[in-house]
Structure 1
Amino acid sequence: MHSSSTSGARLCLNSLTSSLSLKILAFSTVLFPFHSINASKSFQYDSVVNGKQLTVVSVENSTTVFKDGAHQHGFGYDLARNYANSLNVKLVFKTVPDNATALKWVSQGKANFAMTTANVSEIEQKRLTSFSATCGDISSLQQNGLNTKLNWVFKHENDPLAQTASGFVCKGKQSGAIRQLASFYTQNVVQEHSWDSIQRDLNQRMPIYKASFKNTAAKYDLDWHLLAAIGYQESYLKPNSVSPTGVRGLMMLTNSTAKAMGVSNRTDPTQSIEGGAKYYDQMLTRFSDVPFPDRNWYALVAYNMGPGAVDQIQKRIRAQGKNPNNWVNLYSYLERNKASNGRYRQAVQYVTRIRAYLEHIKTSELVNI
């Protein structure tokens, strides 16, 4: 790939580490001292900690959770995953058709809490308790086109699980971590009127290349919607595209990368898609130390900037005493330094746009692509 515009696949965002040493994730799980909590009662907290599993239920939408192949990601999903990590337990994230069902699961004890946009009156009618998923920081959601009514709903207000969760999200508000997470999942990555143009492109061009995307994705165990999102980011699905730096084709391969991937004709869309998928798969292998689903984001940045550039950033993150294999640390580094480094700014835009295109393509595909 080339340094200014390249590609990737198998998207999905991993957990944001809860370590207090991470400035970006100064999320505290303990807002209330445990000696002040009535531990004699059997709360959800006990079963979660002892069972090493946190079950969360939500309706699938652009604010809470979005499925990408075998993975899940989204603002709400990652926030819940962060909380689970802070408790050192596994997150089990379930989706249901509507908010009423999600609330019912909490009432029946089938889920430890729900992430919902239900009206507060509806929540109170079920005798449940809720608080803002952003500790009232609705501007972070509003500015990024996310639903400002997102709440976490628990069965008991005095359950330590609800109390520590409340402290967790409020610390996230204070540290700026919630705002940054929302910025990654922004629905405003392109101007609203541009989606009509994007949809026209997809309607005209996607049917031509859909089979190649699907066949190649299956070969490398990738999501074909993601390959298509990369292709759209790279060339708007135009196989004869050429950049000023010499990259060309639907997946915009450099000449050297094309040769290394066995591509003899970069303007042949089938070969280009094959070359892009193969290279992205190699990036996944290159960063095998990064756990899934974070590895997908690392591979995308490496596809765009080159793996050597990612290696250097990882070294700097490690030197700061942070986990170099955690996506939020890499994303935070790129965000902090993008004003002085155009490559970082481009990498942030690259990954964010592909994520948005992926979601749009997947949704549109269910309708008319």
Structure 2
Amino acid sequence: MHSSSTSGSRLSLHSFFNRLPFKVLAFSTVLLPFHSINAGKAVHQFDSVVNQNKLTVVSVENPTTVFKDGQHLHGFGYDLVRNYADSMNVKLEFKTVSDNATALKWVSSGKANFAMTTSSIQSIEKQQLTAFSASCGDLNTLKRNGLNSELNWVFKHADDPLSQTASNFVCRGKQNGSITQLASFYNRNVVKQESWDVIQRDLRNRLPLYKANFKKTATQYDLDWHLLAAIGYQESYLKPNSVSPTGVRGIMMLTNNTAKAMGVSNRTDPAQSIQGGAKYYDQMLSRYEHIPFPDRNWYALVAYNMGPGAVSQIQKRIRSQGKNPNNWVNLYAYLDRNKASNGRYRQAVQYVTRIRAYLEHIKTTPQLVNI
């Protein structure tokens, strides 16, 4: 691990903010009170981040912070931190540890610039560290979406510009609605609790029948077979004879035109359907190769559901609003804001959030992992 000390010439605070893509301190009057202040004059983590062009964050893996999907990470906490690193125009190095106590030690020792934990304030203060709410105190938004409202960002010093810019970034997200949208996407209640028993029964009974096909096809296209299985469950509940009122068929619910384009002659044949669905999804991923993972997965899923042309139209509208059309939070926010008046948007929101939930469920449920 790198040291938190700095070397070489240092950027001034003023010159650093001049190179940001937007002013992180635009809401500088909205600062949360810190729970404790360490008066020491140690080297600021801000200097280390700027000079090394790298932000190192440590966290415990849990449903609110981060979920490992193969080589990629996603989760409410992870995406929030990732967006903060992007706002600073630095690389994010995200580390996971086994418990919150270890995460706090990493901050104390300088192994991490800050930690994301659900530790009690008492535990944080005992380590002479400082913390603020990862939702800028908007606890109801997290609770409503089944997320842990006690999620905090923990720093070594309250007077470090890094902790100050971070709190401003979070509160800016609260004011512009991006935290609400992010929490909505990672909603743990997107599938009602009573439905999970049915879903688990379905997966336990049907997944073993098609697991070999999912794995073989995923290997061919360098995809995660769990994700393909989650798409298949959302599309058809893994029923090969499924037919929708619009005429799509099979496990992956392909249209007749898509099936022909993917070389599928029999849409109700499980192996062909899975092959065709994987090939089409892989093509959608290729369309968004300029977008980093995990966002690329979500864009590809929306395109799989709505068609890439519809996604392109939404991206144009986002761009016309002066926002980044290649940022998933912006695309999801657009769909979510307009879903009440547009049935396709409502379906797309449900589609991608449910697949995310199924993916996490399949990969973390022992009975399913060992099928």
TM-score of the superposition, structure 1-length normalised? Answer: 0.89
> How far apart are 1:42 and its partner, in Å?
2.2
2:120 corresponds in structure 1 to: 119
1:10 corresponds in structure 2 to: none
Secondary structure, counterpart of 2:325 in structure 1: coil
Unmatched 5+ residue regions in structure 2? 1-19, 31-38
2:28 corresponds in structure 1 to: 31
Query: 1:70-124, CA deviations, whole angstroms, 9 ceiling, x for partnerless residues?
Result: 1101000011111111111111110111111111111111111110011111111
What is the identity, as a one-letter code, of the residue corresponding to 2:217? T
* 1:169 is the counterpart of 2:148: no
* 1:364 is the counterpart of 2:365: yes
Judge conservation of contact 1:239–1:269 (CA < 8 Å) in 2. Answer: yes
> How far apart are 1:308 and its partner, in Å?
1.0
> How far apart are 1:321 and its partner, in Å?
2.2
2:105 corresponds in structure 1 to: 104
Secondary structure, counterpart of 1:57 in structure 2: strand
In structure 2, distance between residues paired with 1:30 and 1:95: 30
Judge conservation of contact 2:57–2:115 (CA < 8 Å) in 1. Answer: yes
* 1:292 is the counterpart of 2:293: yes
Judge conservation of contact 2:214–2:229 (CA < 8 Å) in 1. Answer: yes
Secondary structure, counterpart of 2:253 in structure 1: coil
In structure 2, distance between residues paired with 1:300 and 1:215: 20
1:63 corresponds in structure 2 to: 64
Judge conservation of contact 1:31–1:167 (CA < 8 Å) in 2. Answer: yes
1:257 corresponds in structure 2 to: 258
Judge conservation of contact 1:291–1:325 (CA < 8 Å) in 2. Answer: no
In structure 1, distance between residues paired with 2:26 and 2:329: 18
> How far apart are 1:19 and its partner, in Å?
5.7
In structure 2, distance between residues paired with 1:129 and 1:241: 54
Judge conservation of contact 2:21–2:89 (CA < 8 Å) in 1. Answer: no
Judge conservation of contact 1:334–1:345 (CA < 8 Å) in 2. Answer: yes
> How far apart are 1:298 and its partner, in Å?
1.3
2:144 corresponds in structure 1 to: 143
> How far apart are 1:158 and its partner, in Å?
1.1
Query: 1:290-311, CA deviations, whole angstroms, 9 ceiling, x for partnerless residues?
Result: 3333222111111000111111
> How far apart are 1:28 and its partner, in Å?
4.4
Number of positions where the alignment pairs a residue of Structure 1 with one of Structure 2: 342
1:231 corresponds in structure 2 to: 232
Secondary structure, counterpart of 1:189 in structure 2: coil
What is the identity, as a one-letter code, of the residue corresponding to 2:350? Q
Judge conservation of contact 1:27–1:169 (CA < 8 Å) in 2. Answer: no
> How far apart are 1:322 and its partner, in Å?
2.1
Judge conservation of contact 1:284–1:296 (CA < 8 Å) in 2. Answer: yes
Judge conservation of contact 2:116–2:151 (CA < 8 Å) in 1. Answer: yes
1:314 corresponds in structure 2 to: 315
In structure 2, distance between residues paired with 1:95 and 1:47: 20
Q: Which 10-residue stretch deviates more, 288-297 or 57-66?
A: 288-297
Judge conservation of contact 1:313–1:330 (CA < 8 Å) in 2. Answer: yes
2:245 corresponds in structure 1 to: 244
Cα pair distance change 1:344/1:320, threshold 3 Å: same
TM-score of the superposition, structure 2-length normalised? Answer: 0.88
Query: 1:294-337, CA deviations, whole angstroms, 9 ceiling, x for partnerless residues?
Result: 22211111100011111111222222222222222211211121
> How far apart are 1:279 and its partner, in Å?
0.1
Moved over 6 A (4+): none
* 1:302 is the counterpart of 2:303: yes
- Written as runs of structure 1 = structure 2, the 5 A alignment for 1:276-355 is 276-355=277-356
In structure 2, distance between residues paired with 1:277 and 1:364: 23
In structure 2, distance between residues paired with 1:52 and 1:116: 23
What is the identity, as a one-letter code, of the residue corresponding to 1:126? Q
Identity %: 76
* 1:46 is the counterpart of 2:43: no
1:81 corresponds in structure 2 to: 82
Query: 1:134-167, CA deviations, whole angstroms, 9 ceiling, x for partnerless residues?
Result: 1111101100000111111111111111111111
Judge conservation of contact 2:362–2:369 (CA < 8 Å) in 1. Answer: no
Query: 1:229-276, CA deviations, whole angstroms, 9 ceiling, x for partnerless residues?
Result: 000000111111111111111111111111111111111111111100
In structure 1, distance between residues paired with 2:51 and 2:196: 47
Q: Which 10-residue stretch deviates more, 220-229 or 319-328?
A: 319-328
Query: 1:20-51, CA deviations, whole angstroms, 9 ceiling, x for partnerless residues?
Result: 5xxxxx96477379xxxx9x862000000111
> What's the C-alpha RMSD, in Å, of the aligned pairs?
1.9
In structure 1, distance between residues paired with 2:351 and 2:64: 20
What is the identity, as a one-letter code, of the residue corresponding to 2:364? T
In structure 2, distance between residues paired with 1:66 and 1:94: 12
* 1:214 is the counterpart of 2:222: no
What is the identity, as a one-letter code, of the residue corresponding to 1:299? A
Judge conservation of contact 1:32–1:163 (CA < 8 Å) in 2. Answer: no
2:15 corresponds in structure 1 to: none
Judge conservation of contact 1:29–1:165 (CA < 8 Å) in 2. Answer: no
In structure 1, distance between residues paired with 2:319 and 2:27: 26
